[in-house]
Amino acid sequence: MGYKKELYNLQVELVKFQKEVIEKDLKVCVIFEGRDAAGKDGTIKRFLEHLSPREARSVALGKPSDKDKRSWYFQRYVPHLPSGSQMIFFNRSWYNRAGVERVMGFCTKKEYKEFMEEVGDFEKLLVHSGIIFIKYYLDISKKEQKKRFDARKSDPLKQWKISPIDKQAQKLWDEYSKARDDMFAKTSFDFAPWYVVHTDKKKVARINTIKHFLSMMSYPGKRDEILDYKNDIICKYDKKCYKKGLIFP
């Protein structure tokens, strides 16, 4: 089946699921983390493309303000959490502290330690409040990341994607790998595990992420037969993932 046809069928399933979310007054929160150029924007776009914008939206926060810096770290994210009937997709989230902020020195060691100690309790509250909470990490190889960075430089429509942090991504590759691995080991909770997605092939990654998401949901008219995702593209985090080559070094 071609990509467009398969994507169409999955987006029909997403519309069915959103109808259930609205009718049952459900709350859905999905966070997308990952290396720069791993495809977070494109994946979220395909999730949202045909959903009602009144009940589904993407959240991508900018640099914290002075007020944010003086507040409880999670405070600026709380207003964006879903209310009943809403689906919220975070394009980067509070895990900035475990990744970019740690690697780039935007937070202190004390702030990082406090975050790692508190994030489990924060997410447990989300789950206990009835929020359907899913965490995806979009992984990409160093070679493919460089290829996408180079493509951005020559594409006038993608200039907005180029940032100073992008320029450091390849140079600090090993530091980002260490931060990612520590994050997985310490924050993949039983009640909120990480799901890792291989994104070197963008279209394959998008299709399989939507399939995986829908396969975990319950809604009328669900077509289970089209929701089989590839285990070598998306996997629940486990230390065995490294030995199997499911996480890029």
pTM summary value: 0.96
- Residues 194, 13: Cα–Cα separation, whole Å: 23
Mean pLDDT of 19-39: 97
**What are the tens digits of pLDDT across the range 66-117?**
999 999 999 999 999 999 999 999 999 999 999 999 999 999 999 999 999 9
pLDDT of residue 246: 85
Domain ranges of the chain: 3-243
- Residues 59, 55: Cα–Cα separation, whole Å: 13
Q: Which CATH architecture has domain 3-243?
A: 3-Layer(aba) Sandwich (3.40)
pLDDT of residue 61: 97
Q: What is the 3-state secondary structure (H, E, C) of the chain?
A: CCHHHHHHHHHHHHHHHHHHHHHCCCEEEEEEEECCCCCHHHHHHHHHCCCCCCCEEEECCCCCCHHHHCCCHHHHCHHHCCCCCEEEEEECCHHHHHCHHHHHCCCCHHHHHHHHHHHHHHHHHHHHCCEEEEEEEEECCHHHHHHHHHHHHHCHHHHHHCCHHHHHHCCCHHHHHHHHHHHHHHHCECCECEEEEECCCHHHHHHHHHHHHHHCCCCCCCCHHHCCCCCCCEEECCCHHHHCCCCCC
Supply the Cα-derived Rg of the chain in whole angstroms: 18
* 133 pLDDT higher than 80: yes
Mean pLDDT taken over the chain:
95
**What are the tens digits of pLDDT across the range 9-20?**
999 999 999 999
